Amino acid sequence: MKPAPFAYRRPGSLSEALAALAGEANAKVLAGGQSLVPLLSMRLAAPALLVDINGLPDLAAIEVTDDGVRVGALARHADVLAHEEARRVQPLLAMALHHVAHATIRNRGTTVGSIVHADAAAEMPVVLILLGGSVEVESTAGRRTIAADDLFLGPLESSLHHDEIAVQAFFPALPPGAGVAFDEIARRHGDYALCGVAALLRLDPDGAVVEARAGFLSVNELPTVVDLTAAVAGGVDDVSLAAAGEAALTGLDPEGDIHATAAYRAQLVRVLTARVLRAAYDDALARSAAASTGPSTERTR
Amino acid sequence: MTEELHEVRLSVNGTTREVRVPARRLLSDALRHDLGLTGTHVGCEHGVCGACTILVDGRPMRSCLLFAVSAVGTEITTVEGLTNPDGSLGHVQQAFAECHGLQCGFCTPGFLTTITAGLRENPSPTHDEARDMIAGNLCRCTGYQNIVKAVERAAVLGLDTVAARPTRPTNESARDEGAS
Ligand SMILES: Cc1cc2nc3c(=O)[nH]c(=O)nc-3n(C[C@H](O)[C@H](O)[C@H](O)COP(=O)(O)OP(=O)(O)OC[C@H]3O[C@@H](n4cnc5c(N)ncnc54)[C@H](O)[C@@H]3O)c2cc1C
Ligand code: FES
Ligand code: FES
């Protein structure tokens, strides 16, 4: 269980890092290493060169504005999770990050790394798609922005080119009238989930549901978002939530593996969809109530 | 092809140490083989068991998921660094001894480092918080109950140590100098 030999560079500037990547077709970026080092140790990956970005502290910034949260490539999961402003502007971030591995892994692993690693069992890719976020990437040829919808191509495969570094991920703010929720089922605390669901539900000023979407991890080969507005537009109750669970399955194709059969995963989709949509609805109601009674009311959670 | 070696300066338990290692040397192996600090144990070598947990700038991390070359510029604390300056057991170690928090001891170094950092962040955890603190570490022997008791005992011993110390200008500095 030791990695194969590789060359190693630890650049002191982003342009140096980009040049190093451009100069070697079989190079990989080393961020937190919490996914890459196990792959190297198991010899599932054997790059010729690792470009370590841990010497670029500028990439560690977390920037919060009214539009949303910008997370730099070196911001660790733990830093994003602890960021009060980020939690206020987009509460789904902290809700989901809480389920990413355990604290020790979150101390080193990066949120951007977990997005571009593109694991369908990971929490952050599906959160980024559900929120309509994006990733900013840079190479020696320049910068481009990749929308979350165009980012995930296959299991562990993103649309980044080999010479690109993801410098930042953007998570849009929670829109007015919206609520969010997250839940997952894992065999053990900190394990990758057997099934996880993130939901965003939006109410109009009269309290009617105008948008309800849910993102699913560990169900399909790719993180997948399903629109469930039709199922709950008439009201949120046990019957409509059960219908939403069935509607979710029409947009998914649960797979069986050694951890769970396809039928069990489908059952988790039904149960978690209902549970998380209800929680997102309650969250939307609570935020709307707090917003209408003025700014002195507790809004963070 | 001869493998390129890197001169790496590591700061371990307050002492600067130099190693000459290939880039692929895991920090866990650098600590154990190159520096002879065999208190850090290696179980799964892919981040799951927690036996190799060390503190990097005070935060628990898996040393099997770090390369020694990537640890330059950090302050590393291993289990060897948790004893008091006079060689007696630090308060987390003392609590493990009192509560029978170990049997074979394989997992223990990872628990001790994790709990040391956990109690610095949260000096008086509730029972549930004590359980949560150790949720990322596996133990095949104890059944965990006595480890949870040891967390709670260590919290008491840690608060006593802080209280026994002459008053400091701020709470922050008093707490920071806990066990390591
Ligand atoms: C025991 C354990 C449990 C875990 N459980 C979970 C879990 O439940 N949920 C979850 O989501 N994750 C989990 N993880 C993974 C963890 O979240 C990782 O931190 C994350 O997947 C990758 O981030 P990293 O910074 O460690 O990336 P690395 O491991 O450094 O890199 C991963 C991949 O992404 C590439 N990469 C990273 N950053 C960039 C960048 N800025 N630009 C271009 N390419 C880049 C690398 O080249 C590599 O291919 C777990 C890990 C462990 C060890
Ligand atoms: S040896 Fe590092 S976590 Fe198991
Ligand atoms: S005491 Fe034996 S593994 Fe924990």
Instruction: Indicate the residue among A173, A195, A212 that finishes a domain.
Output: A173
Residue contact A104–B23, C-beta within 8 A: no
ipTM: 0.92
Q: Which of A37, A53, A74, A98 to mutate to test the interface with B (most CBs of B within 10 A)?
A: A37
Q: Kindly report, residue by residue over A89-122, the tens digit of the pLDDT.
A: 999 999 999 999 999 999 999 999 999 999 999 9
Q: Is A150 a member of any domain?
A: yes
Q: What CA–CA distance (Å, rounded) separates A108 from A110?
A: 6
Q: Is A148 a member of any domain?
A: yes
The ligand minimizing its distance to the Cα of A113 is 1
Listed as ranges, residues in chain A with pLDDT below 70 are 294-301
Q: What pairing do the DSSP bridges indicate for beta strands A224-227 and A142-147? A: unpaired
Q: Are B23 and A6 in contact (CB under 8 A)?
A: yes
Please indicate, yes or no, whether residues A97 and A215 belong to a single structural domain of this protein.
no
Q: Is A296 a member of any domain?
A: no
Question: Is the whole-model pTM more than 0.80?
Answer: yes
Amino acid at site A89:
V
Residue B30 phi/psi, 5° resolution? Answer: -60, -40
Pocket of ligand 1 (CB under 6 A): A 28-36, 73, 100-101, 105, 109-110, 112-114, 116-117, 122-124, 160, 165-166, 192; B 47-48
pLDDT in tens for each of the 180 residues of chain B?
Answer: 689 999 999 999 999 999 999 999 999 999 999 999 999 999 999 999 999 999 999 999 999 999 999 999 999 999 999 999 999 999 999 999 999 999 999 999 999 999 999 999 999 999 999 999 999 999 999 999 999 999 999 999 988 776 665 544 444 433 343 333
Q: What CA–CA distance (Å, rounded) separates A215 from B136?
A: 26
- What confidence score (pLDDT) does residue A49 get? 98
Residue owning tokens 């977990």: A114
Q: What 8-state DSSP symbol labels residue A295?
A: T
Q: Is A301 a member of any domain?
A: no
What fold is seen in the domain B91-164?
DNA polymerase; domain 1 (1.10.150)
Answer whether B141 contacts ligand 3 (Cβ < 6 A): yes
Instruction: Indicate the residue among A150, A173, A196 that finishes a domain.
Output: A173
Strands (E), chain A: 7-9, 27-30, 49-52, 62-65, 68-72, 134-139, 142-147, 152-154, 157-158, 165-172, 178-185, 195-203, 209-217, 224-227
Of A106, A75, A111, A69, residue with least CA distance to A88: A69
What fold is seen in the domain B5-82?
Ubiquitin-like (UB roll) (3.10.20)
Please indicate, yes or no, whether residues A186 and A153 belong to a single structural domain of this protein.
no
- What confidence score (pLDDT) does residue B115 get? 98
CATH of the domain at A148: 3.30.465.10
Instruction: Indicate the residue among A173, A208, A227 that finishes a domain.
Output: A173
- What confidence score (pLDDT) does residue A66 get? 97
Residue contact A8–B62, C-beta within 8 A: no
The CA B140 to ligand 3 mean position distance, Å, reads 5
Q: What CA–CA distance (Å, rounded) separates A110 from A101?
A: 12
Residue contact B26–A38, C-beta within 8 A: no
| Chain A contacts in chain B segment 118-137 (CB below 8 A) | 135-136
Q: What CA–CA distance (Å, rounded) separates A174 from B145?
A: 42
To the nearest whole Å, the CA of B146 is away from the closest chain A CA by 19
Please indicate, yes or no, whether residues A31 and A163 belong to a single structural domain of this protein.
yes
Please indicate, yes or no, whether residues A161 and A46 belong to a single structural domain of this protein.
yes
Residue A225, judged by CB atoms within 10 A of its CB (0-12, 13-18, 19+), counts as buried
- What confidence score (pLDDT) does residue B175 get? 38
CATH of the domain at A275: 3.30.390.50
Please indicate, yes or no, whether residues A255 and A268 belong to a single structural domain of this protein.
yes
Residue contact A2–B64, C-beta within 8 A: no
- Strand ordering across the sheet containing A195-203: A178-185, A195-203, A209-217, A224-227
Q: Are A13 and A52 in contact (CB under 8 A)?
A: no
Please indicate, yes or no, whether residues A15 and A61 belong to a single structural domain of this protein.
yes
Q: What is the DSSP string of chain B?
A: -PPPEEEEEEEETTEEEEEEEETT-BHHHIIIIIS--TTS--SSSSSSS-TTEEEETTEEEEGGGSBGGGGTT-EEE-GGGGS-TTSSPPHHHHHHHHHT--SS-SSHHHHHHHHHHHHHH-SS--HHHHHHHTTT---SSS-SHHHHHHHHHHHHHHHHHHHHSPP-S-HHHHHHTS--
Q: Is B6 on the interface with A (CB under 8 A)?
A: yes
Q: Is A298 a member of any domain?
A: no
To the nearest whole Å, the CA of A174 is away from the closest chain B CA by 29
Domain range for A9 is 1-173
